[in-house]
């Protein structure tokens, strides 16, 4: 049986808002501005955020391999995000192509 304490209600609201509603709104807001490829690539940050929360909240220590792996993931995501932006910029299009 659920015990509806103040702590439980706060946790429920926090999970409902920060883990469900806010990401949903951010996802569809970003889909208006960027391609599906670029937006989907950002889901790769889920493990990075999980490890960072473990470090901050639980005092966990990531291994060197984890830090290197997450650094590579963030760098790759930056490349994907910037290449998508570059592809949509009319100033970077080939001027020889006549439409």
pLDDT along the chain (99 residues), means of 10: 90 85 88 82 82 88 93 87 63 55
pTM, two decimals, is 0.53
Rounded-to-integer distance, Cα 44 and Cα 42, Å = 5
Query: Can you give the pLDDT at residue 20?
Result: 85
Rounded-to-integer distance, Cα 16 and Cα 77, Å = 27
CB distance 83 to 37 below 8 Å: no
Query: Can you give the pLDDT at residue 67?
Result: 92
CB distance 41 to 81 below 8 Å: yes
Query: Can you give the pLDDT at residue 90?
Result: 60
């Amino acid at each position: 049986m659920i015990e509806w304490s103040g702590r439980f209600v706060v946790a429920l609201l926090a999970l409902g808002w920060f883990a469900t509603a806010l990401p949903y709104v951010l996802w569809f807001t970003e889909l208006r501005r960027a391609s599906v490829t670029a937006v989907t690539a950002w889901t790769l940050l889920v493990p990075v955020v999980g490890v960072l929360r473990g470090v901050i909240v639980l005092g966990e220590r990531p291994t060197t391999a984890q830090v290197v792996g997450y650094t590579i993931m963030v760098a790759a995501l930056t490349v994907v995000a910037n290449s998508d932006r570059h592809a949509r910029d009319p100033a970077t299009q080939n001027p020889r192509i006549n439409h």
